[in-house]
Every structure is written in structure tokens, then in C-alpha cells.
Amino acid sequence: MRLWFASLSLLWCASACGENLLLSGEVAARNSQIFVAPEADSWMVQVAWMVEEGTKVSPGDPVVQYDTANIAANLEQLEAELRRVKSESKRNTLVEDLALREAQHTYEVAQLNLQKAKLDAGIPRELLSQLQYEQYQLALTRAQGDAIEAQKALEVKRQDVTAEKKRNQVEIAGAQNELERVQVMLDNMTQHTQQAGTAMYVDHPWTRQKIREGDSVQRGFSVLEIPSTDDLHVKAWLNEVDIARLQEGQTVNITFDAIPSLSMSGQVERIGNQAEPKQHWGDSGYINVSIRFHNEPNQPLLPGMSVMVEVAEASP
């Protein structure tokens, strides 16, 4: 905080005294990988482990690990549930198949009885007594009714078997999908970097304190940043009252608070279009300015390093 107040005092003095324009800023990365708290069944997740800030990482390195105790326990329960559903489905399938075979057997017996009844009922009447003839006719009527009922029962049982198989498939698919969902959730609890860079902790959006190992954060909150150090530039802030004193393409001199002996030249790439207030910087608005380095630095720079940018006034 004192550094910012001191920088602002220098900026005000430079503007008031007609000296070279001074801008406060920091080294920034053009490309960064941001890690956010992953999806979970609870709205808060705990950071179990995080790579130390300032550590250089390579593609594929693990950088954040979240607490997985509840997810792992849930995964075990879902695995057991899937085994139960599959076992129950197998048992139900065997029962339904047996019932279908019984219905098929009943239907076949009814068809045989119907054929026999038709043969008996087809014997000429004059060859039979009146009683025997009537008995054969009655047996045919009964056999026809039994055959119709057996056919209906067989069709119903076939529909039952088909419906039961579909129900079992739906239950297995549901249990399998839930297991896969939680497995993906568990896998996402360990996050790996996709690019080389230096680990930088991220401020909590509510407390403004850096998120660290052991903290609990809400899903979707940023917890870590891996800025690429391959293409660094300077992000500076211009007081809106000095907008007429700076133009794109101007050459600037850049000094670094952490490396007093290092001085580099650069060029203004872009000047923002809108001024925004800065907390603790007073009532003025500040415009974002992007500055590129003319040459590669001969000392390692890290994103977040504070810099002072000096802009030489144009000659009259």
C-alpha cells in the first residue's frame, strides 16, 4: 500500500511540475492458464494441496489437489449400487425368462389339446353315441377357449419380459452414468497445467486474501494462475488527466522495483478507451496501457513485478 501511495505521489508531482510522465504498472503475461474450483456435489470445495507460489511448472505437472474424501466415499457406494442393480437385473431376467418359457409351454399344450379336440369333434356323428358326440363338441369348445387364453397370456408375458428388460437397462444405465459422473468429478479434483510458467496465487474475491492450501472456496472461484513467461509485457495505468500526454507508439523507459539495476526500453502498444476508478488511488479514473519490451530481458522477470514507466515528453 505504501508503494502505491509513493508511486501516486511521484505521478502527481511529475504531472504538476511538467516533468516526464510517470506511469505505475506491473509485468503481465499475455497468456495465462486459470484454475478454478471444479464442480462438486457441495457448493464449497477445500484446497487440499497447491503448488507453492513462484514454483516453475511444466506441462502436465499437477498444481492443485482438492479434498476428495466425500467423493471417494460416494464413489464406493455407487460402485456397490451398480453391482446390486446388475445382480438384481440378472435375477429378474432369469425369473421373467422362466415365466415366459412356462407361458410358451402352456400355449403349446393348449394347441395340442385343440388339435386333438378338433380330431375328436370331426368324427362322423353316426359313428358315435349321442352322449359321446356331445362330449367331443364340448371338449372342442373348451380347447378353443383354452388356446385363446394361452395365446393371450403368452403375448402378455412377452410384453412383460420386454418391459422388464428395458427397465433393467434403464436402471443399469442410470447407475452407470451416475458412477461415471462422480468418477469424472473425482478425476477433476486434481488439476494439471497445460503450459509452462510460474505459479501465482489468486486473491479471494470476497476477502482479497490469497487463496492457499487448506482454504475452502466456492465452485467456480479462481484459485491459481499459471502465466506464461514466454511473452511478457507491461500493464500500466494512466491517470485520465494525462491522456493527452501519451500516444500509442511512444518509446518509454521501464524500471523494476524488485531489480533496481535493471532498466529496459519499450513501446506503448495500446491505450484503453475507458477510465476506471482504482480503490485507494483517489477519485481519478485510470486508463489501462499495454507496453511491449523492445528486447528480451537479460534477467528473469515474473508476472506481478511492480514497474515504473517513464515517458519522455515530446520535444516542442
CATH code assigned at 24: 2.40.30.170
Shared domain for 153 and 77, answered yes or no, is yes
Q: What are phi and psi of 167, to 5 degrees?
A: -60, -40
Domain interval for residue 177: 70-187
> Which tens digits make up the pLDDT trace of 289-299?
999 999 988 88
Shared domain for 208 and 270, answered yes or no, is no
Shared domain for 255 and 287, answered yes or no, is yes
CA atoms within 13 Å, Cβ hemisphere of 152: 6
Examine residue 248 and state whether it is found in any structural domain, yes or no.
yes
Spatial distance between the Cα atoms of 254 and 299, rounded to a whole number of angstroms:
14
CB contact at 8 A, 254 and 309: yes
pLDDT on residue 166: 96
pLDDT on residue 210: 94
**Domains: count for the chain:** 3
> Which tens digits make up the pLDDT trace of 100-116?
999 999 999 999 999 99
Question: Bigger pLDDT: 69 or 14?
Answer: 69
Examine residue 60 and state whether it is found in any structural domain, yes or no.
yes
Shared domain for 76 and 175, answered yes or no, is yes
pLDDT band, very low/low/confident/very high, at 36 (cuts 50, 70, 90): very high
pLDDT on residue 19: 74
Shared domain for 74 and 166, answered yes or no, is yes
Across the range 138-144, mean pLDDT stands at 95
Shared domain for 85 and 166, answered yes or no, is yes
> 3-state secondary structure string, the chain?
CHHHHHHHHHHHHHHHCCCCEEEEEEEEECCEEEEECCCCCCCEEEEEEECCCCCEECCCCEEEEECCHHHHHHHHHHHHHHHHHHHHHHHHHHHHHHHHHHHHHHHHHHHHHHHHHHHHHCCCHHHCCHHHHHHHHHHHHHHHHHHHHHHHHHHHHHHHHHHHHHHHHHHHHHHHHHHHHHHHHHHCCEEECCCCEECEECECCCCCCECCCCCEEECCCEEEEEECCCCEEEEEEEEHHHHHHCCCCCEEEEEECCCCCCEEEEEEEEECCCCEECCCCCCCEEEEEEEEECCCCCCCCCCCCEEEEEECCCCC
pLDDT on residue 314: 54
Examine residue 35 and state whether it is found in any structural domain, yes or no.
no
Examine residue 3 and state whether it is found in any structural domain, yes or no.
yes
Shared domain for 78 and 168, answered yes or no, is yes
CATH number of the domain residue 214 falls in:
2.40.50
Shared domain for 74 and 162, answered yes or no, is yes
Across the range 67-78, mean pLDDT stands at 96
Asked whether the whole model's pTM tops 0.85, one would answer: no
Q: Which of 127, 156, 187 is the last residue of a domain?
A: 187
Examine residue 219 and state whether it is found in any structural domain, yes or no.
yes
**pLDDT above 50: residue 237:** yes
pLDDT band, very low/low/confident/very high, at 35 (cuts 50, 70, 90): very high
- Supply the mean pLDDT for the chain: 90
Examine residue 241 and state whether it is found in any structural domain, yes or no.
yes
Among residues 216, 269, 280, the alpha carbon closest in space to that of 247 is found at: 269
Shared domain for 58 and 199, answered yes or no, is yes
Examine residue 285 and state whether it is found in any structural domain, yes or no.
yes
Which residue matches cell numbers 451416475? 178
Shared domain for 175 and 244, answered yes or no, is no
> Which tens digits make up the pLDDT trace of 162-201?
999 999 999 999 999 999 999 999 999 999 999 888 899 9
**pLDDT above 60: residue 3:** no
pLDDT on residue 267: 95
Shared domain for 311 and 238, answered yes or no, is yes
Shared domain for 47 and 97, answered yes or no, is no
Examine residue 213 and state whether it is found in any structural domain, yes or no.
yes
Percent of the chain whose predicted confidence (pLDDT) is above 70: 93
Q: Which of 199, 226, 253 is the last residue of a domain?
A: 226
> Which tens digits make up the pLDDT trace of 206-231?
888 999 999 999 999 999 999 987 88
